[in-house]
Structure 1
């Protein structure tokens, strides 16, 4: 049995590579089933966000080459290119990595809370796909429990630091007065919801939400007094928008250089601040070449994020200690589970021997043997049978020079070497 965490993230791979390795929600179930069918993985889950794509696996024996080959093949990447930016954690390290990720300790924004929800979604999808069993299931539950403890017992999540918050902070640096700005938000997911909340708190009065479905955009818009439109209406909204922040699950760019160029002409080259949080990217990179456009991707937010993280650094050490305790507790419980099958088999054997001796005792009683003698024979017979197999095996191991086994037996049967001497 081996746990494996394998993947890439914002520390090891550029946004270009990350968007090529990202899984869409529609791909996940089929990908998980294929992963378990083609590789030696008995259980599997996939976490895919804008900053990471990770596979969580349970295998009989660690076998990562086939998994890497599958991941590269699935996304049409060269294996060497993927191997250069991929990391692999096994067993204790894999458990620690999952707990650190869920606690926000491995995020670009230290302590960001969205990752825990994303990991819970990954677990739910894996359950739907039928690729999570008892072992990986226990690991996920332990991971969620540890992440909850980190959130409750440390200050790592107290201050509003997230990619969404960083984007709004950057907008404040470019526009001195956000009250007079109009913001166009593309998408209606969790990240855009956070962006809308931060913009609303900063006093932005005019917010437009553009989404593929008007219903979802309308729900978000209603919460913040915004206006909902379809993606097809974006060109008109661009003309009046000073801030554009995008985060969708689209596989292709939805905002091109031409549309932005036309909007700039109508704006008489009044600047537009753009943040593309999506992976794959929503805004064509060439848009950043235009004058009067300030285009940032998630990788460009590092400086803003670093500045906002200072208040959380002190809590990180305490969080790491809680994660360490979570890893130790889970691995101990896992080791205890490993003994369950052996204990069950040993108990079944003992109960079978007991039943045999009880049946023999009942026959003796029926034949008129005294109860005292039957009890003595029952005790003697049961003792001999229970000790027979261990005695034979210990003698054999001792003859083979396996004196370590004798030490283990001494501990297993809780034997005190001095007990016989004291009783003499």
Structure 2
């Protein structure tokens, strides 16, 4: 069994391209269903702010790689998409998902959110019936290893997220957030976390903009100083604000340059969304200082230091885990050959017993004796080939033996 990966990520793809190559929840389901019709062994989609990736398990690497790559390119139809696409196969693809799950390939190193996203990607494919035994094992082992890394290296004791870095940057730029008027649009996971960091750092003039009051109500119970405003009020609030933070799941921009009222008051805008909430041209306004998730992450010295510190320690744990997974994967082809061999013996057994029963009249005791003798003879016949196959460590020779067995016993 082979593993193939195709996608784009923050490592080589700017945000204005990534927001075009992105699977919404509906599109994930749609795509998994389309790809499942192409008779692939297994498919999992991982689509986040940082990446959009399709993982495939396949017996025919050349054929299925072309099918998935052609689909990816045609589905998104982004100009010059080949400039940003990356492909990984077998050990490189395996190594990639282990690093991704551990947060080592994230924009914010060691962030916790990616682990949940990897779990969700696996569960989504399992629910839709598009995953496979191979991908199930690969993703579960990557998740288990990520948890081990987080526990051993105590990553969660000092979490770093895009929300944490964004608020820390504001504190460094403005010194004190207490008297700053802060407009937060969107109260999902990122919005909630951002508000909690703002509150921890002394912010008390927080104006929450959301389409629904229910989510904001939960926040107000925790932080009574928060004020709720309707979504349509967002532009009126922006004109007097010191800070604007957006973190919605909108598929299109919700803050446009043409709708922002002219003002001499300086405002810092942080767009924590993907796709972006704030139109890129807004940065051209004289009073606006605009940051998106890419620019916020790059200026974080703490994030850079954490990447360097965790990298070598975590890699050792990952390499050991991958070694164990590869042993399991190698045995997968052996197990498949042995299963086919046993199935062929069962067919011979049933055919032979059917023939004997047509030719000879046996009582119950005689029937059981003949059945036992026949099964024993068949098992002895395949015992040595199976033992040799299991005891062969060299992968190339193992594959040669499997091929010979498939031809001799007609079990392809």
SS in 2 for 1:332: helix
Partner of 1:398: none
Q: Is structure 2 residue 309 aligned with structure 1 residue 314? A: yes
For structure 1, list consecutive stretches of 5 or more residues without a partner in the other structure: 368-373, 395-403, 410-424
Q: Is structure 2 residue 243 aligned with structure 1 residue 243? A: yes
Partner of 2:11: 11
Mapped partners of 1:385, 1:155: distance in 2: 52
Deviation string 1:331-380 (CA, Å, 9 cap, x unpaired) is 21222233223334555677887x98xx9xxx9xx99xxxxxx9xxx99x
Instruction: Describe the shift of the 1:385–1:49 C-alpha distance in structure 2 as closer, same or farther (beyond 3 A).
Output: closer
SS in 1 for 2:41: strand
SS in 2 for 1:108: coil
CA drift of 1:88 comes to 1.0
1:211 and 1:229 in contact (8 A); partners too: yes
Q: Is structure 2 residue 291 aligned with structure 1 residue 292? A: no
CA drift of 1:258 comes to 3.1
Instruction: Describe the shift of the 1:315–1:254 C-alpha distance in structure 2 as closer, same or farther (beyond 3 A).
Output: same
State the aligned residue count: 380
Partner of 1:386: 380
Instruction: Describe the shift of the 1:41–1:77 C-alpha distance in structure 2 as closer, same or farther (beyond 3 A).
Output: farther
TM-score, with structure 1 as normaliser:
0.79
Q: Is structure 2 residue 335 aligned with structure 1 residue 340? A: yes
Instruction: Describe the shift of the 1:126–1:383 C-alpha distance in structure 2 as closer, same or farther (beyond 3 A).
Output: closer
Instruction: Describe the shift of the 1:309–1:3 C-alpha distance in structure 2 as closer, same or farther (beyond 3 A).
Output: same
Q: Is structure 2 residue 272 aligned with structure 1 residue 277? A: yes
Instruction: Describe the shift of the 1:64–1:198 C-alpha distance in structure 2 as closer, same or farther (beyond 3 A).
Output: same
Q: Is structure 2 residue 93 aligned with structure 1 residue 94? A: yes
TM-score, with structure 2 as normaliser:
0.81
Mapped partners of 1:232, 1:35: distance in 2: 40
Mapped partners of 1:330, 1:49: distance in 2: 25
SS in 2 for 1:168: helix
1:155 and 1:315 in contact (8 A); partners too: no
Mapped partners of 1:294, 1:118: distance in 2: 31
1:287 and 1:295 in contact (8 A); partners too: yes
CA drift of 1:229 comes to 2.8
2:104 and 2:307 in contact (8 A); partners too: no
Structure 1 stretch 269-278 or stretch 104-113: which is displaced more? Answer: 269-278
Instruction: Describe the shift of the 1:27–1:222 C-alpha distance in structure 2 as closer, same or farther (beyond 3 A).
Output: farther
The structure number with the bigger radius of gyration is 1
Mapped partners of 1:134, 1:385: distance in 2: 27
2:162 and 2:297 in contact (8 A); partners too: no
Partner of 1:69: 70
SS in 2 for 1:236: helix
SS in 2 for 1:101: helix
Partner of 2:58: 59
The RMSD of aligned alpha carbons is 3.6
CA drift of 1:305 comes to 2.3
Mapped partners of 1:248, 1:293: distance in 2: 20
CA drift of 1:12 comes to 1.2
2:57 and 2:132 in contact (8 A); partners too: no
2:32 and 2:125 in contact (8 A); partners too: yes
SS in 2 for 1:27: helix
Partner of 1:177: 176
Deviation string 1:369-401 (CA, Å, 9 cap, x unpaired) is xxxxx9xxx99x96799359979xx9xxxxxxx
Mapped partners of 2:203, 2:275: distance in 1: 28
